[in-house]
Amino acid sequence: MSQTFSYARRVEFAETDLAGFIHFSRYLTYMEETEYAFLRSIGLDVIMDDAKGQLGFPRLESHCEYLYPARYGDVIETRLRVAENDGKRLTYDFDMRVNEKPVARGRLVVACCRFLPNRDPYAIVLPDRVLDRLPLTC
């Protein structure tokens, strides 16, 4: 994966199943945590205010492929790459590893949406303040 952002965290006991493996649902949480850390690292956030109101990135699609079980106490490094930018949506690819061993890989597709009071969210073109901060490989 080129131009990746990396985020590491330890698997906590409450995140595991009876066998001591990380529960499958937690991988999506790790992907989301990595996305938030990535956005903060480039001066953005998952919800932002501007002159027109709030904008954010609701999920359109999520996918995770489980390759090898991670266990309580493991440190999972999650690598994020912005794989696609179509002007309104971003596609993130994720590669999750423990000691460089692949444990899962996934994908999130998010839309850039405007949130206004008393109105349903609606998709908008990614603002320049977002586009200017995304990696050039998008």
The predicted-structure confidence for 81-102, as pLDDT tens digits, reads as follows 999 999 999 999 999 999 999 9
Q: CA 110, 83, 80 angle in degrees (round to 5)? A: 80
CATH number at residue 38: 3.10.129.10
Q: How many domains, the chain?
A: 1
| Tens-place pLDDT, residues 15-69 | 999 999 999 999 999 999 999 999 999 999 999 998 899 999 999 999 999 999 9
Q: Is there a domain that residue 136 lies in?
A: no
Q: Is there a domain that residue 20 lies in?
A: yes
pLDDT bucket at 3, cuts 50 / 70 / 90: confident
Name which of 21, 128, 106, 29 is nearest 61 in CA terms.
Answer: 106
Provide the domain limits for residue 76: 5-131
pTM of the model: 0.91
